[in-house]
Amino acid sequence: MTRAEDGAGSRSSDPGEHPIAVSFVIPAFNEALRLKDGVTRLLEAMDAGAIDPEVTEFIVVDDGSTDDTSSTAAAAFSAFPHVSVIRLPENRGKGAAVRAGVGAATGAVIVFADADMAIDPAQTPEFVAALARTDLAIGTRAASNSSVDRTSIRRSVMNRLFNKLVNVLTHVSLDDTQCGYKAFRAPVAKLLFHCSVTDRFAFDVEILSLARQLGLSISEVPVRWRRVKGSRIRPWTDVGSMAGDVLRAGRGKALAPPIHSLRVTWPDGVGGLRPALPSVAPVMRLPDGGVLVLCPFMTEAEIDAAARQIVESMPGAAVERGNLTTVQLRELAPVSLTWGDYPAVP
């Protein structure tokens, strides 16, 4: 069972002949009253041509809500052709919800955004464009050309204090780690979230810190942000628990599940390996000319199928299964994930 299968889920349609380009992961806890406004903003982005519904999937993860979040999400997103609603059996935290959604995502790009769409989803093309040159693209409200509407003084002070603390503790050197809109090349998202252990609000920090430790590149995209009533963040109260999460995440890397891997060598080189692999699988080149195919969130059956596909597609290839811990992965840094024959970022 993958992490994305922790709860019941439903999918409205099959992508069919249109490969999914972008997966939107939307964590939701007791968001029945705010989901409709978020969907309205998504529809506006589609009308503006910023989101193509035919190649975009939406994955709403109900984090054990006690209201009608799941049914409201199913109804609100009924206008979109590719929708999944996953319900976790109990409230585990925003990080756990996003992790489950990332595990289920099938797009070449994976975005996670808050249910209220406080960040304008019409900016999606800007994030996708940034991924042409970096592994991650994160929103920032701190840039001079960002647009921040109706923020509260208490929230602004909390964000600044927390961000300074994060930079002192983790050295991520980023201006806004908590902005609720982040985009990843899919293999990067799969790898980082598989290795994450933080379930609640500070999960962003753990993801970004791990990305820095692995040598992955991060770009910051100025955003248009509006305040929406009903935020789950409580200024001053939550900043202490979030700081504790940051410290625990640094000590919890040994708790992350091992990453299954396939070590592939082929007498003629591995340049033609990509068609034989799941499109979201991270691939690391090895000094001996082989590659290490990492299999985050994949089941045993999926890994076996990938290994068979490699052997059938590349006669003479040798495939060796193994495991890699997060600690071992960090020891390999800087990690270079190859993109040469990946499907193009849309």
Q: Report d(CA 327, CA 317) in Å as an integer.
A: 28
Q: Report d(CA 342, CA 252) in Å as an integer.
A: 32
The encoded tokens of residue 109 equal 């790009």
Task: For the sheet with 318-324, list strands across it.
Answer: 283-285, 291-294, 259-265, 318-324
Comparing CA positions, the residue from 114, 54, 122, 58 lying closest to residue 84 is 58
Residue 165, pLDDT score:
73
Residue 332, pLDDT score:
86
Query: Residue 190 in 3-state DSSP?
Result: helix
DSSP string, 141-156: S-STT-EEES--HHHH
Q: Report d(CA 178, CA 182) in Å as an integer.
A: 10
Q: Is the peptide bond before 121 cis (omega within 30 degrees of 0)?
A: no
Residue 1, pLDDT score:
28
β 83-87/56-62 pair status: parallel
Q: Report d(CA 307, CA 42) in Å as an integer.
A: 39
Residue 42, pLDDT score:
97
**Is the four-CA dihedral 20, 26, 31, 36 of positive or negative sign?**
negative
Q: What is the mean pLDDT of each run of 10 residues along the chain (346 residues)?
A: 45 62 97 94 96 97 97 95 97 96 96 94 96 93 70 65 72 80 95 93 89 93 77 55 65 78 84 76 84 93 93 89 92 74 46
Are the CB atoms for 7 and 103 separated by under 8 Å?
no
Q: Is 53 exposed, middle or buried (0-12, 13-18, 19+ CB in 10 A)?
A: middle
Tell me what percent of the chain is helix, strand and coil, each rounded to the nearest 5. Answer: 35, 20, 40
Domains detected in the chain: 3-255 (3.90.550.10), 259-324 (3.30.70.3400)
Buried b (16+ CB within 10 A) or exposed e, 231-241: eebebeebbee
Residue 201, pLDDT score:
78
Are the CB atoms for 337 and 187 separated by under 8 Å?
yes
Are the CB atoms for 319 and 262 separated by under 8 Å?
yes
The encoded tokens of residue 165 equal 């603390």
